[in-house]
Amino acid sequence: MGEFVQGLLQVFTWPAFGIMLVGMAVGFAVGVLPGLGGAVTLALLLPFTFAMSPLEAFAFLLGMNSVTATAGDITSVLFGVPGEATTAATIVDGHPMAKRGEAGRALGAALSSSMVGAIVGALALALVIPVVRPVVLAFQSPEFFMLTLLGVTFVAALSGGAVVKGLIAGGFGFLLSLIGLDPQTGVQRATFGRLDLWDGVGLIPVTIGLFAIPELIDLAVRGTSIAEGPPGRLGGVMQGIVDTFRHGWLTIRASIIGTVVGVIPGLGGSVAQWVAYAHAVQTSPDRSRFGQGAIEGVLAPGAANNSKEGGSLIPTIAFGVPGSVSMAILLGAFLIHGLVPGPDMLTTHLTLTFSMIWIIVVANVITVAVTLLFLNQLVKITYLRSSLVIPVILFLVFFGAYAEQNALFDLGLVIVFGALGWAMVQTNWPRPPLILGLVLGSLTERYLFLSVNRWGWEWLTRPGVVVFALLIIAVLAYSIRQEARGRAVTPAEVGRASDT
């Protein structure tokens, strides 16, 4: 307990606290501008920590990394452009709320749920550090493969009642993930002789194209502002904060989901957001509201996106296995400052470990508090006429696509997937399953190869695999049952309406 309190006090020592504020300012700017990403910025800023003490270095790096997702939600809600690839799920319901004049409510909900998620993730890190090693080591490639399949089953929940269309879209996302060099043999797959495709299709240009370009086309055709009307009674920031606690149990569950996904190395924030969003859809009594501006569709991904940071720190600190790309870069900071992940971080350097936990909490609380002061001004952007907003959003779109790899080819991908996204909107095909398939495809392939290569087909009899298989069957059965019930209820409702 003494180390826990001491870790908090160290966060507020000088110059560590001032350095953390600088990192937060950088992280906020990175989150608002699409494309750069927290991992890229961590890599760029890592050399600046050479002369710092370990506490100052982690205050700077974690302060920056822990607020990028929070800031990315602002761009996602206001413009329909993901500030981070990990904030794409927020667009699905957040941007329709902005178009409805409820941008303040959506942002209030996104920010406050992000803060709750950060606190839950950090507390989980503090509680499970002593016992996490045997738990994580129990998972091997067969269990990881089944976990990715479990994520695939959530395609049904993301399909808006059109499960077949959702499965086709998710399957197309899987096919996209196969483009590039085979990670096992190095053989080119569907690269068409282009070097640009050797590394595969980038998640950021695909996400930006699918979600941002159709919104820009719609905005240009309408010729109005983003918000189609003045803010109503529920358009205020405070209402969004109230929603977070009104749906408190969903926010907590989504935070736990984000933490668990963060613990598992390699899955990352994109998976955490979509799984939490799918959970919100599946547990809702009225799925039809999702994609149209459901507040739960903002709360769940917002909470999961920040809680996963605490979760991904668990394997990084406990035994040096980074839970995400950002944590892999952060692992370099450990080595630079002479720290060895493992038992030493849980004994000799336990105070520093708790300081890292507190940095995540304090950085998010400060960021949310400061941002809330200016949200009402930010919301006014949605009432500017389209001729002023579209050029700015176009700049953000193409800057974000180019900045990830500094490749002009990615700009072409944005246009191609923008056209695809527009066609999917016009024909009522769900876009989220495609993104989920792209995110999970490479992971599924990798874990299947490792499982078969090491265990043959005997891995199918492992207890963990059997448990996950039963869970997948249960999720699919529930989704099919809900869709069938929706088909059965609709004619009856129509009949009752005609009688009245």
Q: What pLDDT, on a 0 to 100 scale, did the predictor assign at position 265?
A: 59
What are the structural domain ranges in the chain? Answer: 2-137+145-438
- pLDDT, position 500: 38
pLDDT of residue 18: 92
178-214 pLDDT, tens digit per residue, is 888 877 777 888 788 777 788 888 777 887 788 778 8
What is the residue type of 281?
V
Give the pLDDT confidence score for residue 179 in this predicted structure: 87
* pTM strictly above 0.85: no
Distance CA 408, CA 497 (A): 55
State the pLDDT at residue 494. Answer: 36
Identify the residue whose tokens are 């470990």: 353
- What's the confidence (pLDDT) of residue 495? 41
Reply yes or no on whether the pLDDT at 48 is more than 70: yes
Q: In this predicted structure, what is the pLDDT of residue 157?
A: 56
Task: For 113-124, write each residue's pLDDT tens digit.
Answer: 888 888 887 777
pLDDT at 490 over 70: no
Has residue 498 got a pLDDT over 50?
A: no
- What are the structure tokens assigned to 411, written together? 């700009």
Report the pLDDT value the prediction gives residue 135, as an integer from 0 to 100: 61
